[in-house]
Structure 1
C-alpha cells in the first residue's frame, strides 16, 4: 500500500506537469537556496553553528563511557565491563578520518569569502571562526593519526576516470601542528576578546596555539624515547631539534592569554572543594572558561547527570551511578603539605586503622578530591550519599546483603538492621558505587537535571584558564625557567587550597604530570598527555600489578582500576565498635590489565582509505 501511494504521487505529478508546467517551476517554500543563506547573517550563523556542533570529543558528556577506558574510572555498567577485561587497546580505538567534515568547512570558507550581502565585520568574524573550527578538526586528526593530508580547499571529481589529482599524501606530523599554530596566529585578531564562551574568541585561538605547540614540543622531546614510533617520511614523529621552538611558542601563547585580561581562575567560594566543582557548573560569572560546548545555547540538554547521579538520589527510576572514579585517581590527591601518600587503611603493623567518620580517611588532602569525587560520607544536593559495604566482625567475616540498603541480623541480635548502603558497594551490582565512589565533577546539582524529560545543561569545557597556566608551567619547565614554572603551577595550586607553594627546585617532570592529572581529571586529557609524553606504554604496560605505593611517580604502573570498601566495625564492648575501617579491593569485573602497545600511539588508517589513495602510508607498529 505504501509503495502504491508513491506511484500515485508520481502519476499525479506527471499529469499535473502536462496540464500546468508552472506547477513544477514553483519555488519551494520549505527550502532555502544558497543565495538566500549567504544574504542573511542569521542564516549564515546557523550553518556555522552546525559546524561547531560537529566538533569531535573523544571523551565528553555525551559519551561518558569513554572516561572508563584507562585508569581514571570504573564503568559500573554491565554493558561496559569489557573495558576492564580486554587487555589490548585496539589500533583504531581513537582513530579519526573525517574529510567530509573538512570539506564542509572548506566550502563554508569559500562561500563566505565570496559573500557580498553581509557586512564586512560579520564576514571577517565568520571566516575566522570557520578557520578556527578547521584548525580544531586538523588538531583532532593529528593528535590521533599523526600527519594527515592537509587539504584547505573543496575538491570536485571531474568524472574523467582519473582520480589521482584528488589523492594527497600525508603531510609531516609537524606540518599539521605548524598549520594549526600559523592559522590561529593569522585569525586571532579577527575574533572578539571574550564576550562568548560557545564561539571562537581570541582567547580560544591562543589557547589552541598553547595546547598544540605544547603537544608538538612534547612529541619532539619525548619521541626520542620511542624511535620506533616514527616514519621515515616524517608523517609520524617530530625532530628533536624542533622541541624548544614549540615550547617557546606554547609559553608565549599562554602568556598572551594571560595578558588579555579577560580570563582568570574561578575563585568565588570559600569552600575550595565547592569552588572547584562550580568551575563546571557556574555559567553566569565564570571568567575561567575560555571555550565550552554549551548545550543550552544549542537548545538542548544531555543525560550525563541522569547516568551518573548517585543511585540513592535518582530523580526517576533510571540508571544513575554508571561511572565510578577509581581508587587509583583518588589516592593521587596529595596531602596539603605537598607530600604524597596512599590512603591510610592499615598501620605499620598491618592492622586496620579505625575512623570515627568515613570522611576522616580523606582528611587533609587536596580539596579538589571532594570537588571531583563523591567519597563515602560525602553529601550531594544536601543529602548524605549512603556508601558502605557492610559490617566487619572481629573474626574478619562480613555481614552484608546483596540488596541495596539490605537488612540482616548481627551476631547476638534478634532484630534486623541495615547492613549495606543504599549506594553499595555490592559486587557486580551495576549503576551503583560498585567500587566505593561516585563522580562529582560535571554532575548537575539542579533539580530536574536527573530526569529524562529535562536533562542537564551543564557545559562541556574545552579550554579553561587553569590549563593555560599549566601549559605555561610545563613549557617553562622544559625551557629551564623554573621560576616561571613554579609561579604558574602555584597559581593553580593556591586556588585549589594549598597553603604552601612549591619552590622552583621542587618542580620536576613528576610534578608536571601529577598536576595535570589532578586539575584536568575527566576533561579529555589523560590519553593525549600520556601519548605525547610517551608514557602510555610504560604506565599501561599490561602487567597486573597492585595499586601503586607511589602516586606521585609519573612512571607508576596503573593498569587496573581499584576500589575502596568502607565497613562498619562490629564488636560490642570494643572501643572500636561502630567505627569505620576500609579495604582496598579490585572490582570483580576487572580481571585484565590495560596494555598500550607501540602501535597505539597513532591510530589505524582504514584499508578503505589506503585502497582509495595509495599515497597514504600506514602508521608504524600495526
Structure 2
C-alpha cells in the first residue's frame, strides 16, 4: 500500500489500535478483546479492516503463502533453485517442472493454499457478520467502505483458490461455514470473484487522504478485476475494467523501468509498504550474491532460457548459438534491451560497486553446479543472479531486514491486460497499441503483428515486462502451457 504499515497482528477477535502518527496507515497491536468491543470504536474497526491488507504481503514474492515461500517462476524454466535439499526455497520446485511424476498426494500441495485461504475467508465473513450485529450505530457510508475493502480481499483470496482449482466451495456468510457444502462450478466461483470486486469498485473512493492514504481505491479494484477476468476468460469484463483505469488518467508509466516496481510513483496502483521495525521481509537475504558478505543468499537464480527471452536494443533477436560451447567468449549482454539489465545480474555487470564474474572460483559471483550442494551458499547455478526486486542500497544484508515495497498491481500490467483482452475480442489495433505503449518505455520498436503471431509476441512481452513479479507461472497455466 502507498503508506507504511508498521506492525500488525491479526487474530480472529483482535482489536488493534492506531498509533499517534496521523498520516500513516500505522498499526500497533494490543491484547485480544471481545468481538463486540471492537465495534465500540470506529478506529478499532478501521484497524480490524487493516488486518486484511497483510494478505497482499503474504501472497507476494516477499511472503510465504503463494508457493511455500518459493518464487512461482521456479515452476517454469525461468528461475532455478540450485541446491539438492528439498523444502523451503530449495531444490524441489524445479524437479516438479522437469519430472511431473514427483507430484504425488504428499507433494502435490506445493502451491496449494486451501487451508490458509479458508481461514482467511472465515475471518472476513466473521467481520461481515459482526458488522451486521454490532455496527448499527455507524453511518451507512462508513460501513459500506468497510464492506467494500473486506469484499475486495475476499475476492482476492477466492481468486487465489479459483486459479488453482476448477471450482471451489463458496462461503459468503459465517453461518454457511458451519455447514457442509459441495464445491461450486468454475463459473459460479468466478461469479463470486466478480461480484465482490464489483461491489468494491462501486463503493470504494477514487482516493483517500490523511491517515487513510494507502487504502484500496476504486482503481485498484478495477485493475485487479482486469487481471482476474483474464483467468475467468471473461474478456469483455477484463477489457472494460482495464480501459476504465487507463481512461481515468490517474496513472502512467514511469520513464525509467528500474523504478517501475519500486512503488511510490505514478505506476503503482496497489502497493504494500514495509518498515525497518516491522513488518519487513527477507527477500534480499534469500537472493543476494555471496559477494554481499552473506553466505546463504543466491537461493534461486534466473536461467539462460529467461535471458534469451530479451530482445536486443533494436528489437531483433540475439543469436546465442556461438556462446553455447565451453570455450565461447562472453556474450555481448550490453546489446540486450534495458529490461534485461534491470532484471538480471550478469557476468561483467556491476552490483553494489562490484564487477560481477559469476564464474567458477569467481571472486564476485561464484558458479556452483546444479544440485551440487545442500544449499546454494550465495552461489549461482545458472551464471546469473536476480537484480529485480532487490534493494541495491541495502549494504548490511545479514543484519538489516528488507523494506522495499511490494507493488501488487502496476500500470504496465493493466496495459498488458487490456492488450490481451482486446486480442481476445478481435480488437487488434487496440491490442497492439496497449502492448506497444509498454515497449515504447524502453525504446523498443512497435510490433505490427496480428493473430497468432501477435499473441506469441504478447506472451513474450508480458513475460519480460512482469518478470519475477509472480505472474508467469499462472499465466502459463491459463494459456494451457503449464500443468
Quickly name the TM-score band, shorter chain normalised.
0.7 to 0.9
| Structure 2 equivalent of residue 474 of structure 1 | 420
Q: How does 1:429-444 map onto structure 2 within 5 Å? A: 430=376, 431-444=378-391
1:295 matched to 2:284: no
Deviations 1:406-447 (A, max 9, x none): xxxxxxxxxxxxxx3331114336221232100001111223
Which of 72, 78, 84 is the aligned partner of 2:78?
A: 72
CA contact (8 A) 2:291 2:363 kept: no
Could you tell me how far 1:93 is from its partner in structure 2? 2.7
Aligned residues: 426
Deviations 1:354-408 (A, max 9, x none): 4xxx5x611322211111111111112233223233xxxxxxxxxxxxxx4xxxx
Q: Give the alignment's TM-score, normalised by structure 1.
A: 0.64
Comparing 441-450 with 142-151, greater Cα deviation is found at 441-450
CA contact (8 A) 2:292 2:395 kept: no
Q: CA deviation at 1:519?
A: 1.0
| 1:61-86 deviation line (CA, Å, top 9, x unaligned) | 23453342321211134432233345
Paired residues of 1:306 and 1:318 also in contact (CA < 8 A): no
User: Highest CA radius of gyration, 1 or 2?
Assistant: 1
1:334 corresponds to which residue? 311
8 Å Cα contact 1:295-1:459 kept in structure 2: yes
Contact 2:201 2:222 in 1 (8 A): yes
Q: Could you tell me whether the CA contact under 8 Å between 1:310 and 1:432 is conserved in 2?
A: yes
Say whether residues 1:124 and 2:112 are aligned partners. Answer: no
Residue 487 of structure 1: how far off its partner (Å): 0.4
CA displacement, residues 34-85 of structure 1 (integer Å, 9 cap, x when unaligned)? 3331122221122222222245856612345334232121113443223334
Partner of 1:279: 260
Matched residue, 2:22? none
CA change 1:194–1:518 in 2 (3 A) is: farther
SS of aligned partner of 1:332: coil
Match of 1:83 in 2: 93
Match of 2:153 in 1: 133
Partner of 1:567: none
- Report the TM-score, using the length of structure 2 for normalisation: 0.81
- Between the aligned partners of 2:78 and 2:423, the Cα distance in structure 1 is 26
Q: Does 1:510 align with 2:456?
A: yes
SS in 2 for 1:47: helix
Matches within 5 A, 1:155-234: 155=175, 166-195=179-208, 198-217=214-233
Distance verdict in 2 for CA 1:30–1:141, change over 3 Å = closer
Whether the aligned pair in 1 keeps the contact of 2:56 and 2:408 (CA below 8 Å) is no
Which blocks of at least 5 consecutive residues in structure 2 are unaligned?
A: 1-29
- Residue number among 163, 166, 169 corresponding to 1:146 in the alignment: 166
Q: How far apart in 2 are the matches of 1:46 and 1:351?
A: 59
Cα displacement string for residues 308-366 of structure 1 (whole angstroms, at most 9, x for unaligned residues): 1221123xx4412222101110111012333333435349xx89654xxx5x6113222
Within 2, Cα distance between the matches of 1:118 and 1:505? 54
1:546-566 deviations in Å (ceiling 9; x for gaps): xxxxxxxxxxxxxxxxxxxxx
Aligned partner of residue 534 in structure 1, secondary structure: coil
Q: CA RMSD in A?
A: 2.7
Mind listing any 5+ residue stretches in structure 1 that lack a counterpart? 1-28, 158-162, 218-245, 268-274, 390-403, 405-419, 537-595, 597-622
CA-to-aligned-CA distance 1:434-483 (integer Å, 9 cap, x gap): 3210000111122356133x211112222111111011101111111111
Q: Residues 191 and 380 from structure 1, CA distance in 2 versus in 1: closer, same or farther, beyond 3 angstroms?
A: same
Q: Does structure 1 retain, via aligned residues, the 8 Å contact 2:261–2:410?
A: no
8 Å contact kept, 2:253–2:266: yes
Contact 1:293/1:462, CA 8 A, preserved across alignment: yes
